[in-house]
Structure 1
């Protein structure tokens, strides 16, 4: 079973996406911000991280930089998601991530991309 680290400060999104990902055969570890995500990664090494950009404490861009700067986490693909278009988020600096989904996104495309990044089989 592949593990997704799901990071979002909106509890409704965490709950909804967690349930869907679990129904699709993923193990899900959740965090409410980037700092909490780093702490959770000490406990469980995810196969992929699905991270909201706009969060308090440590946002998705800061978390992405932390993961890319640490040799332990560099191989974990990070998929960013945000209601803000990527073009606006990349004005000051590029987002070097495995993929980006603008909210609201096509859930089936997200699931396909997570399966592709983790090598997971589709749940039946």
Structure 2
């Protein structure tokens, strides 16, 4: 079973993503900020990370840099999520594989995840 780490400080967003992905057969683990995400990444290696751009404690930009600087994690695909336009995000953040604009539709989430991972196993 493929595992997705969802990192978002908004409980409702994380809960919706978890529901959408679990209904399609993915295993989902959540974290509420980048610091917690890095701790989780010390416990397991997911197949995909869905990372919010704006979060307290450790934001998406700093979290992504830490992931990309760790040889054991650097190859994990990352979907950056934000309510901002992607152009605004790209001014301070690079290195992610795909971008998901909030609010999102379930079909957009599933299409993007399937693009990066294929079908859940």
Q: Tell me the SS of whatever aligns to 2:66.
A: helix
Query: Could you tell me the TM-score, scaled by structure 1's length?
Result: 0.91
Q: What aligned pairs does 1:1-124 form with structure 2 within 5 A after superposition?
A: 1-91=1-91, 93-121=92-120
State the shift of 1:89 in Å: 1.9
Tell me which moved more, 25-34 or 102-111: 102-111
The count of residues paired between Structure 1 and Structure 2 equals 121
State the shift of 1:17 in Å: 1.1
Q: Tell me the SS of whatever aligns to 2:42.
A: helix
Gaps of 5+ in 1: none
Write the distance in 1 (CA, Å) between the matches of 2:104 and 2:13.
Answer: 12
Gaps of 5+ in 2: none
- Structure 1 runs, 4 residues or longer, greater than 6 Å off: none
State the shift of 1:2 in Å: 0.5
Provide the alpha-carbon RMSD of the alignment: 1.4
